[in-house]
Each structure stands twice: as C-alpha cells, then as structure tokens.
C-alpha cells in the first residue's frame, strides 16, 4: 500500500511542484499589491484601511498629508527655549554652579520620505 503512495507521489511531482510554485508566486506578487492598495490607496492618499479608521474623504486626507509634509519640510521659526524664563550659562557659572558639557551634538532630524507622511 505504501509503495503505491510513493509511486503516485513520484509520478505527480511535476503537478505538485507546479501548484506549490504557482501558490508562492501568486502570494508574493498579489499580496504585496493588495496590501499597498489597502494601506496607501491607488492615489497615495490612504487606502481602505485608513478610510475605515478615519471616515475621511480623499480630499480631506490629501489636505492632512499636505499639511504634514509642509510641517516637516519648512524650517521652524521658533526655538524650544522661547517662552521660558531661562538662566544663562554665564549667570550660573558666576554663581559657582558647574554646568556639564553636552556629550553629543544634536543634529537636525532628517524628514521621512513623503510616502510615509
């Protein structure tokens, strides 16, 4: 009985391989496209997933994405320390308070790609 199974498997290896290969090929090609369409949409302003969560129209999503991109790409006109009553480093050192030096230099954060905004 087991020899018949083995013989049938050997004879059908091309069919099994074709079906397995077709399944792998279809999942790698089609699943990525379906996922991108669900997440980003055909026009890039948000797919069905985002619309289910937010209930916004395409035009509203486009406006939100535009303002988010604008926020990232325009330089900020204000500093973090503005609006606070800060004591300068010179005044602190005059009073005998030692100020630790910064261990690293903070660089401007690079904006993400527009696809992710």
22 & 64 share domain = no
Closest CA to 38 of 56, 51, 57: 51
9 & 33 share domain = yes
For the stretch 64-114, pLDDT in tens is 888 888 877 777 666 666 656 677 888 888 888 888 877 776 677 777 777
For 24, counting Cβ atoms within 10 Å of its Cβ (0-12 exposed, 13-18 middle, 19+ buried), the class is: exposed
**For the chain, what's the residue count?**
117
Q: What's the total number of domains in the chain?
A: 2
112 & 68 share domain = yes
In order of 17, 81, 95, the CA distances from 86 in angstroms are 72, 8, 15
91 & 41 share domain = no
DSSP string covering 75-86: PPSS-TTTTS-P
25 & 65 share domain = no
40 & 62 share domain = no
Rounded to whole angstroms, the Cα distance separating 78 from 10 reads 73
> Which range among 15-19, 24-28, 103-107 has the greatest average pLDDT?
15-19
Range of the domain at 41: 3-50
19 & 65 share domain = no
18 & 46 share domain = yes
Task: Yes or no: say if 35 and 45 are a contact pair by the CB < 8 Å rule.
Answer: no
For the whole model, what pTM was predicted? 0.32
Closest CA to 41 of 24, 53, 29, 26: 53
9 & 44 share domain = yes
Average pLDDT over residues 45-58: 71
């Amino acid at each position: 009985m087991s020899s018949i199974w083995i013989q049938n498997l050997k004879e059908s290896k091309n069919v099994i391989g074709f079906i397995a290969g077709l399944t792998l090929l279809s999942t790698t090609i089609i699943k990525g496209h379906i996922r991108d369409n669900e997440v980003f949409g055909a026009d890039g302003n948000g797919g069905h997933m985002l619309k289910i969560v937010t209930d916004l129209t395409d035009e509203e999503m486009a406006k939100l994405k535009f303002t988010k991109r604008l926020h990232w790409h325009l330089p900020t006109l204000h500093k973090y320390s503005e609006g606070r009553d800060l004591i300068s480093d010179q005044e602190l050192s005059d009073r005998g308070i030692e100020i630790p030096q910064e261990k690293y230099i903070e660089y401007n954060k690079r904006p993400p790609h527009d696809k992710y905004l």
